[in-house]
Amino acid sequence: EALRKFVATKGSIAVDGMSLTVAAWDSPILEVALIPYTLEHTIASDYRKGTRVNLEADLIARYLERLLAAEGAAR
């Protein structure tokens, strides 16, 4: 829930530490495309429906929010 404002199609999101591109976003459903290399070299191939993962918002989006908040506070 807390990450929704940071998610955008073609943006990035980290899933269990893997930085992935958001292929589609229809809140609350997030889709990412996993390429064969990622599946071979990460734990992503073990994911099944219902697997719990750690999500982290795009770093640039978080920095932008912080800058905008600071600008608003300065007014």
Kindly report, residue by residue over 12-33, the tens digit of the pLDDT.
999 999 999 999 999 888 899 8
SS3 state at 38: helix
* Residue 32 near residue 13, CB atoms below 8 Å: yes
Q: Looking at residues 45-74, what average pLDDT do you find?
A: 88
Q: Which helix (H) or strand (E) holds 56?
A: strand 55-57
pLDDT category at 41 given cuts 50, 70, 90 is very high
Q: Write the pLDDT tens digit of every residue in 54-63.
A: 999 888 888 8
Cα Dmax for the chain: 50
Q: Looking at residues 63-67, what average pLDDT do you find?
A: 88
Distances (CA, A) of 63 to 5, 41, 60: 13, 29, 5
Within 10 Å of residue 6's Cβ, how many Cβ atoms?
Answer: 19
